């Protein structure tokens, strides 16, 4: 099996690559070749098969065709610019998040015309495809009315994935990822970044800024769960999806205050005291348009799994990123 990971240098891309290398197979098929693509070169893993790392812009002319011309059996499309950046830079958001996706789909279609070729394509969408007003819990039949450019770009990507799958050019699965916490590394430009920051930094004895009120509620899953979603999407029977090729991944709903109380249980009052509240009206406005809770029964019925408590999410971060130990 040849696997292409687009967005391989990002946090989820790195963790996915590590999981693929560790497993050595997907769905019972051995991995012989990995192609890791991103705007910057991804790190090269220690792997017994062939590994190629490519620095490329998916939206640039010919870039997608060059990747797809290698005819990977399985493609993970994780590449995007994050919500805050897409909102601040309108043109860049559409170029990367929409045009790049369309270039990839078109490259697959054109390759399939040459001779039989139908890869499995796993596309990461987002819960940002939904916009207010919201029901108490968003079900699988709820309509998409995004209130951000990022959400709009992802919603269009979902429609394209459906159509290209319907036409038989590819076998697509889309996953609307929850907000992923706790993200390792440094803060990024995502408007949702503070959800991780207020846990990650205090867990190692550093200050964190909270730009919204503690009653803000959101939908979460861990990086560990996100990788599990992707691997399950790569091997599932897509006949069960019908022509609704994108699912809302499972997760858990929690307020910022509940995050903080889970931090207190894990690391004590000293860690909580490191959170500094500084309201940011731009972030407050963006977050107000995001969904807060889901009824993800379709994903659960299809075999997707996530954490059931914020305590589990923090524990996964401590185990995976901090060597099992808390403290700066």
Q: Which listed residue (94, 117, 142, 150) is catalytic?
A: 150
- Work out how many domains the chain is built from and give that number: 1
Sign of CA dihedral 297, 247, 305, 193: negative
Cα–Cα distance between 132 and 289 in angstroms, integer? 5
Residue 192 belongs to a domain = no
Residue 256 belongs to a domain = no
Q: At 88, list the tokens.
A: 């601040």
How far is residue 168 from each of residues 245, 247, 284, measured CA to CA in Å?
Answer: 13, 19, 42
**Annotation says 150 is catalytic:** yes
Contact (Cβ atoms closer than 8 angstroms) between residue 42 and residue 8: yes
Cα–Cα distance between 22 and 3 in angstroms, integer? 14
Cα–Cα distance between 192 and 83 in angstroms, integer? 8
Residue 26 belongs to a domain = yes
Residue 258 belongs to a domain = no
What pLDDT, on the 0 to 100 scale, is given for residue 328?
56
Residue 325 belongs to a domain = no
Q: Give the pLDDT confidence of 59-93 residue by residue, as tens digits.
A: 999 999 999 999 999 999 999 998 889 999 999 99
Report residues of the chain scoring pLDDT below 50. none
The domain of 233 spans 2-177+222-248
Burial of residue 67, with CB atoms counted within 10 A of its CB: 0-12 exposed, 13-18 middle, 19 or more buried:
buried
Asked if the bond preceding 133 is cis, omega within 30° of 0, the reply is: yes
Quick one: angle between helices 310-321 and 256-267, nearest 10?
50
How far is residue 115 from each of residues 33, 109, 118, 162, 169, measured CA to CA in Å?
Answer: 21, 10, 10, 22, 11
**CATH code assigned at 49:** 3.40.50.720
What pLDDT, on the 0 to 100 scale, is given for residue 265?
98
Residue 103 belongs to a domain = yes
Cα–Cα distance between 263 and 269 in angstroms, integer? 9
Residue 291 belongs to a domain = no
Residue 142 belongs to a domain = yes
Q: Give the pLDDT confidence of 98-136 residue by residue, as tens digits.
A: 999 999 999 999 999 999 999 999 999 999 999 989 999
* Secondary structure in 3-state letters for the chain: CEEEEECCCCHHHHHHHHHHHHHCEECCEECCEEEEEECCCCCCCCCCCEEEEEECCCCCCCHHHHHHCCCCCEEEECCCCCHHHHHHCHHHHHHHHHHHHHHHHHHHHHHHHHCCCCCEEEEEEEHHHCCCCCCCCECCCCCCCCCCHHHHHHHHHHHHHHHHHHCCCCEEEEEEECEECCCCCCCCCCCCHHHHHHHHHHHCCCCEEECCCCCCEEEEECHHHHHHHHHHHHHCCHHHHCCCCEEECCCEEEEHHHHHHHHHHHHCHHHHCCEEECCCHHHHHHHHCCCCCECCHHHHHCCCCCCCCHHHHHHHHHHHHCCCCCCC
pTM of the model: 0.94
Asked if the bond preceding 106 is cis, omega within 30° of 0, the reply is: no
């Amino acid at each position: 099996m040849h696997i292409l990971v687009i967005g391989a240098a990002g946090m989820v891309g790195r963790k996915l690559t590590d999981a693929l290398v560790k497993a050595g197979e997907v769905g019972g098929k051995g991995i012989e070749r990995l192609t890791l693509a991103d705007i910057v070169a991804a790190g090269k893993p220690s792997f017994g098969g062939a590994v190629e790392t490519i620095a490329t812009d998916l939206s640039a002319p010919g870039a997608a065709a060059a990747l797809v011309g290698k005819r990977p059996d399985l493609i993970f499309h994780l590449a995007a610019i994050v919500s805050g950046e897409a909102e601040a830079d309108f043109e860049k958001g559409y170029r990367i998040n929409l045009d790049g996706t369309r270039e990839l789909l078109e490259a697959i279609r054109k390759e399939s015309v040459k001779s039989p070729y139908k890869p499995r394509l796993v596309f990461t969408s987002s819960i940002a495809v939904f916009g207010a007003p919201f029901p108490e819990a968003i079900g699988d039949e709820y309509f998409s009315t995004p209130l951000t450019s990022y959400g709009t770009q992802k919603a269009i990507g979902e429609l394209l994935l459906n159509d290209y799958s319907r036409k038989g050019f590819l076998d697509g699965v889309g996953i609307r990822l929850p907000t992923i916490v706790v993200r390792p590394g440094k803060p990024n430009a995502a408007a949702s970044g503070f959800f991780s920051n207020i846990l990650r930094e205090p867990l190692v004895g550093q200050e964190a800024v909270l730009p919204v009120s503690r009653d803000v509620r959101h939908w979460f899953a861990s990086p560990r769960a996100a990788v599990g979603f992707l691997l399950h999407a790569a091997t599932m029977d897509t006949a069960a999806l019908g022509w609704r090729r994108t699912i809302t991944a499972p997760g858990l709903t929690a307020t910022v205050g509940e995050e903080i109380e889970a931090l207190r249980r894990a690391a004590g009052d000293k860690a909580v005291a490191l959170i500094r509240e500084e309201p940011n009206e731009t972030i407050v406005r963006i977050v107000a348009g995001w969904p807060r809770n889901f009824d993800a029964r379709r994903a659960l019925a299809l075999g997707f799994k996530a954490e059931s408590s914020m305590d589990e999410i923090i524990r996964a971060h401590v185990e995976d990123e901090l060597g099992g130990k808390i403290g700066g």
